Amino acid sequence: MAIEYREWREGDDLALLELWGGPETEQARQFRGTLAPSGNSPWRRCIVAEDVVDGVAIPIGAAVVHEASLHPERLWAYIEVARDHRRAGVGSTLLTMLRHEAGQAPSGVAKLRTKVEPGTPGAAFAEAAGLAPIQRSRLVVIEPAALKLPVFGDGSEAAASEQIEDLATGSVELSDVVGRYYTAVHGWDSPGELSIGTVQRLFLDELSGAHGAIVLRAPKASAFGQGVPASRKGRLEAFAISYAELAPGGGNPGGGDGSASGQPTDVFVGHEPKLSEEEARAAVRDLLALIAFQHPVVLELDDSMAALRAVVEPLLESGKARLRGSETQVVSDPA
């Protein structure tokens, strides 16, 4: 076996897919999409390993490292080698070459990170390479009526309508809370300060797949202090952004989402990060109870999402929620 290394060329994806077959994990499926010719806008370096047999070069592996506009403190990296060429030093050589390229990244960032599924060859390779877990993420399906519906104010429809609102995804108020929440729960891999425009593009506009948003507010407050009738809206305490049609109570007025066929609706649930721990848990619980009352929803649960974990993990233990797929670990070079 004579292994040679070169830059990625057009057509390598087809040759490698034919040899690799289907992706072994969801992470492999996602990262394969980052294999592409090297370039500087954005900065990316991609290397191919070839097995030369009787003068014929056959691609057997590939590796990529690239900068990220979101979470810029580390570089994303991915390596995949054909099953029958593993444990022969190909992956280790590719990693050494990636680290050399990373040392020349224009940002000056050289630390690598990747995503793996525990118990897989990729996870074992990452551990041997010195990459350690910095976060765990799970996809969790919340079953219908897993949580008791909350009662707002005096229990009337008017009281509920003061606190539950179907909010336009273009709302600056919503964008502000979403951005600050995302930053607050990603201190382990900071995205930095996110502008309203960036939050809109990543989470809330049509290209992100966002379909709508439901928010939970605090009870109405008076702008003039106690003793004066409340007139202004209460502060936004929690939000649920749906990536299919979703209505309060889990309804499906438009008939266009996956819930009609029993498939859970993807949602991003969070809260105002200035809330106390108790307030955050209560706000998340109440909103989650509403959106998952009649139809299942699926959400991403990172270990850093303390309030959401406090609500969801008891549901997992009781069987009122279930994992979808395997957990994902983000692993990184030491700080």
Rounded mean pLDDT of the chain? 91
Which candidate, 31, 16, 24, 21, places its Cα nearest to that of 330? 31
**What is the structure's pLDDT at 231?**
56
**What is the structure's pLDDT at 228?**
45
> How far apart are the C-alpha atoms of 290 and 224, rounded to whole Å?
32
pTM: 0.88
- 13-50 in b/e form (b: 16+ CB < 10 A) is bebbeeebeeeebebbeebbeebeeeeeeebbbbbbbb
Report, as an integer, the average pLDDT of 178-187.
Answer: 97
Report, as an integer, the average pLDDT of 267-287.
Answer: 97
> How far apart are the C-alpha atoms of 166 and 240, rounded to whole Å?
10
Q: What are the tens digits of pLDDT across the range 200-257?
A: 999 999 889 999 999 999 988 644 455 545 557 889 999 999 997 554 454 433 333 4
Identify the bridge partners of residue 52 per DSSP, sorted by sequence position.
Answer: 2, 57
Domains and CATH numbers, the chain: 2-130 (3.40.630.30), 139-329 (3.40.630)
Report, as an integer, the average pLDDT of 263-268.
Answer: 94
Poorest-pLDDT segment among 115-124, 147-156, 217-226, 303-312 = 217-226
> How far apart are the C-alpha atoms of 241 and 243, rounded to whole Å?
7
Query: Which residue type occupies 116?
Result: V
Q: What are the distances in angstroms from CA 264 to CA 244, 260, 270? A: 10, 9, 18
178 within 8 A of 203, measured Cβ to Cβ? yes
Please state, as a whole number, how many other Cβ atoms lie within 10 Å of the Cβ of residue 197: 11
Task: Give the pLDDT band (50/70/90) at residue 1.
Answer: low
> How far apart are the C-alpha atoms of 325 and 26, rounded to whole Å?
9
Ranges of beta strands (E only) in the chain are 2-7, 39-40, 43-53, 56-66, 75-81, 112-116, 132-142, 164-167, 212-217, 236-242, 265-271, 297-302, 321-323, 328-332
Report the percent of the chain where pLDDT is more than 90. Answer: 82
Residues 6+ apart with CB under 8 A from 71: 186, 189, 190, 191
Q: What are the tens digits of pLDDT across the range 284-326?
A: 999 999 999 999 999 999 999 999 999 999 999 999 999 999 9
| DSSP state letter for 71 | S
